[in-house]
Structure 1
Amino acid sequence: MTSPPPVLASESRPTGAERGTRAFTRWCDPLLLGLVAVAISGFRSWSPSFWHDEAATVSVAGRDIPDMVRLLFDVDAVHGAYYLGMHAWLRLVPLTEFWVRLPSVVAVGIGAAGLVVLGKLVSTRRVALVAALVFAILPRVTSAGIEARSYALSAALAVWVTVVFGVAVRRGPPRHLAGIDGRGTGRIVGRDAGARSHRGPDQELSGDLAADRPLRGCRQPHRVRRRFP
């Protein structure tokens, strides 16, 4: 007599609490390094007074929208989006060094958090944490963090765009953009193998050459002919 096959216990699905713990662990490192970067860049950020470029930020962002748009047609058009954001920000906070520089300080933290996510995406957790910490203490980064200009925001945006690009590359193209799914690929490969088995070598060569020819009805790029005297 043959003994009945053993019954394997099915794996239990993670509960809501377990999923919440995993999500907290996943985002704990970016949040922690982001706060560290904010603390490093924001330390005594209110001490230096506004310098020339920051005074330009305060002057442009303090104008009304039509005046600002007219000015951007002449100078500083590359900072237009930043000036619009600062225009709304300065309506909510007092005009002091700390509050005007606070968006740049927060942007440094957002960039450090993005570096943790990017580092985990392409390497190990240790590499991600070291990269974010080095980013947070770089003199150029801390300088951008205490400056009321768009440099820290641009750096944070560049980091997160790279994160999105890395996630997209790892996931691959969507199925509807790939043009054909796995089952269709299998049918084409099988059909091609069956057709080759019923053809001779001459027919196979001619078929391969015909496959390289352009399809009828398809427009071909114009050839540039060079005329010599």
Structure 2
Amino acid sequence: MAVAMNGALSGRTVTEIAAASDSDGSNATVCVIADGDPFCWGSGTAGQLGDGRATNSSVPVAVQSGGAIVPGTTTRIALGHRTACAVAAGTPVCWGLRADSAVPAAVDASGALSGTVTSDIDFGDRHGCVVADARAHCWSVGASFELGIGGPAHDSPPVAVDTSGALSSCATGWLPAMLGAGQCAPGEGIEVGYRVSYQKAGWSSPDTVVISAWRGPAS
């Protein structure tokens, strides 16, 4: 059965869709992106339709824009437990039960997400994750082990997922330098080549190539 396209979606082109429901099949909600803006319909009793109300809708309604969502900039959308999230203008926003808001609210970017650009987002029951600057970040709204940092947390803002193990992008024998995403340091026994030169009284020495083996741990 075709979704009603003579109302909020009239004349628009849908490019992405997400749907979710409670475990018993009730409270089903659907959201789409159409021409860069989010629209939702179905169950909205927890504010997951994003239009400022806590009511259901049998036809698509526009998610409130102009606040946390810049009009025409939504690129990704996801639905979890009575909660919707989106990426708008490179910023993650959520609304509904877990966001405690019936209109889009920006995800806390004061920590690990500060200065980053988000490209993807997803949300489960009590936790969300984003890809920001090619690195995974997650947060939890319940005491659990969903943050990806090796321990429990409660009501935490997004943190960068640990990339020192299976997610490491470093070459064999190299270790994450912990100086920033994508930076690596030589592991024990790795040979490192570098060039050395010096200047004195306006004269520069020729470059000297030095090859040495790293004997200590990465720092």
Q: TM-score range by the shorter chain?
A: under 0.3
* Greater strand proportion: 2
Scaled by the length of structure 1, what TM-score is found?
0.24
| Higher relative contact order, chain-length normalized (CA < 8 Å, sep 6+) | 1
TM-score normalised over the length of structure 2: 0.24
Greater Rg by CA: 1
